[in-house]
Amino acid sequence: MGLPELRFDVNLSILFTELPLLERPAAAAAAGFTAVELWWPWPGSPTPEKHELDALRRALTEAGTRLVGLNFYAGRLPGPDRGALSLPGPESDRFRANLDVAADFAASVGCTALNALYGNRVQGVEARTQDALALENLVRAARAADRVGAVLLIEALNAVESPLYPVTGAAKAVELVEAVNAASGLGNARFLMDLYHLAMGGEDLHAVIDACAAVTGHVQIADAPGRGAPGSGVLDFPDLLGHLGKAGYGGWVGLEYAAPGADAFGWLQDFQRAAG
């Protein structure tokens, strides 16, 4: 029996950003991709106008690209925010207002993975207060995702770049996945394994892959340090991607790195040729 075949998609929130949002799906298709993912495309609005949602849906459809991953509203990304769901007050309200909007949009384009970023610690608010709110909102998110046949993704960031983000490290993220599944009773929460963040956090990536592949719903990659294309840093991606396959992961691998168009995908062509 051969290894599971990894499938690659392009994150249009970090690649092709020299183009307007609605032109990026076609650019991804021209580069040879049939699948894309996105952070929430309207960071200033959890509930954009219908015509904005329709325009993005049309751009994806006309390009022949399937959306395979979408973030729920997470505040200003890129920017100072790292999610909204654990922040008491208006940001939590915005997250809740976004749940059905994001889930319905995902369903309309065949997207079955929705990512919920936890949010930073807030000065003057007890951690246990934020954590209780987070669990409540993650259960809401799990229900919204389940309604449209999607999984809920929970991601660990790295403390170097996100020192106020409490979900750092694979073990913490998987613990949270298990807590959400227990609280919701749905079992549709999964780990988003971002190899860049885990590497920046000093984790043993092979050990994480071995321990977490079975509960992983999506993988994202960038080289470290620098968050550039594979080959720009120190990570051995042919080895890591091969290890993912050996561990049984056969899902999507999101290319979530910054690189100019001419240099963005040469490594992938080499990898696919070598994998034969």
Name residue 157's beta-bridge partners: 168
Percent of the chain with pLDDT over 90: 92
* Residues 212-268: tens digit of each pLDDT: 999 999 999 999 999 999 999 999 999 999 999 999 999 999 999 999 876 799 999
Residue 192 pLDDT more than 80?
yes
Confidence (pLDDT) at 275:
75
Residue from 252, 191, 251, 202 nearest 224 by CA: 202
* Residues 139-150: tens digit of each pLDDT: 999 999 999 999
Question: Per-residue b/e over 165-203, b at no fewer than 16 CB within 10 Å?
Answer: bbbbbbeebbebbebbbeebebebbbbbbbbbbbbbbeb
Name residue 83's beta-bridge partners: 118
SS3 118: strand
Residues noted as catalytic: 155, 256
Q: Band of the pLDDT at 12, cuts 50, 70, 90? A: very high
Give yes or no for a contact between 268 and 8, defined as CB atoms under 8 angstroms apart.
yes
CA–CA separation, 106 vs 97, rounded Å?
A: 15
* Residues 21-66: tens digit of each pLDDT: 999 999 999 999 999 999 999 999 999 999 999 999 999 999 999 9
* Residues 169-188: tens digit of each pLDDT: 999 999 999 999 999 999 99
Confidence (pLDDT) at 5:
81
Q: Band of the pLDDT at 271, cuts 50, 70, 90? A: confident
**Which residue in the block uniquely carries the two structure tokens 């227990």?**
182
Confidence (pLDDT) at 137:
98
Confidence (pLDDT) at 1:
40
**pTM of the predicted protein model:** 0.96
Give yes or no for a contact between 96 and 137, defined as CB atoms under 8 angstroms apart.
yes
